[in-house]
Amino acid sequence: MTGPGPRVNAERRERARTMAFTLINARPSPFGRKVAIVMLEKGIPFDVRYDVPWGDQTCTPDYSPLQQLPILIAGPDEVIYDSAFICDWLELRFPEIPLLPAEREARLLAMRRRMLGERLMEVAQALIFELHRPEPSTPWVDRQTRKVIGALAELDRLYGQDTTHPGTELDLGDIAVATTLLGVEFALATGLSPDVAALRWRERHAALDRAVSALEPRPSFEQTRPQMMDVNLQATVA
Tens of pLDDT, residues 138-187: 999 999 999 999 999 999 999 999 766 766 679 999 999 999 999 999 99
Whole-angstrom distance, CA of residue 176 vs CA of residue 124: 14
User: 62: pLDDT confidence band, cut at 50, 70 and 90?
Assistant: confident
Fold of 6-93: Glutaredoxin (3.40.30)
User: 59: pLDDT confidence band, cut at 50, 70 and 90?
Assistant: confident
Q: Residue 232: pLDDT above 70?
A: no
Residue ranges of the chain assigned to CATH 1.20.1050.10: 104-237
pLDDT of residue 9: 52
Cβ contacts of 110 within 8 Å, gap of 6 or more: 100, 101, 171, 172, 173, 174
pLDDT of residue 3: 43
Residue ranges of the chain assigned to CATH 3.40.30.10: 6-93
For residue 196, the one-letter residue type is V
% residues pLDDT > 90 (the chain): 73
User: 52: pLDDT confidence band, cut at 50, 70 and 90?
Assistant: confident
Average of per-residue pLDDT values in the chain:
88
Is-above-0.85 flag for pTM? yes
Q: Which CATH class is domain 104-237?
A: mainly alpha
Edge-to-edge order in the sheet of strand 71-75: 47-50, 22-25, 71-75, 78-81
Q: What is the CA radius of gyration of the chain?
A: 18
